[in-house]
Amino acid sequence: MKINGQDFTLRSWEPDDAASIQKHADNPNIYSFLMDRFPHPYTMEAAIGWVTLMLDQDPFVNFVIEVDGMAVGVIGLELRDDIYRKAPLLGYWLGEDYWGRGIMPQAVKLMVNYAFTNLDIVRIQAGILSNNPKSMRVLEKAGFTKEGILKNGIVKNGVVLDEHIYAVLKS
């Protein structure tokens, strides 16, 4: 599966993506803005494990962000169940060498369009750490609305932070 953006592609996973993903993911400037379940250091073993898991997705909700033939980031949805079954969580990261190029706002828009077209959902939600205003701006550029702030809602790297909740609704 491929979705073309300007200067990048969202695509399905390939077994040989592990080396490039490991190279770009092993960065404290990425880890510092993601959940603790994102490994740090990001080892080759972690990359192989993740890629292997992504090869058999059903439904397909997690894409490689490819630039110049290389896997340099990830965007995906975390499907939830029970009362949250129609409101998945959005997550993403991009290799630091590719920041500031306008890739992420466009990737988020493409992901939202794909999800609302192909999945039985009514909302996509994202939680952003309060020390990550650039990611907040990505979501705002992609049409998300800030719905609230959960004060002292998270702890990252030993620091208590607020979580900013963003969402976009299916029209």
- Tens of pLDDT, residue by residue over 64-117, are 999 999 999 999 999 999 999 999 999 999 999 999 999 999 999 999 999 999
Tell me the domains of the chain and their CATH numbers: 2-122 (3.40.630.30)
pLDDT given for residue 85 in this prediction: 98
pLDDT given for residue 35 in this prediction: 96
154 — pLDDT class (breaks 50, 70, 90): very high
CA distance 71 to 24: 8
pLDDT given for residue 90 in this prediction: 98
Burial zone of 40 (CB within 10 Å; 0-12 exposed, 13-18 middle, 19+ buried): middle
pLDDT given for residue 117 in this prediction: 98
Q: Which residues contact 95 (CB under 8 A, 6 or more apart)?
A: 23, 24, 25, 27, 30, 72, 73
pLDDT given for residue 41 in this prediction: 97
Q: Which two tokens stand for residue 9?
A: 């592609």
pLDDT given for residue 26 in this prediction: 97
pLDDT given for residue 119 in this prediction: 98
Stretch 18-37: mean pLDDT: 97
152 — pLDDT class (breaks 50, 70, 90): very high
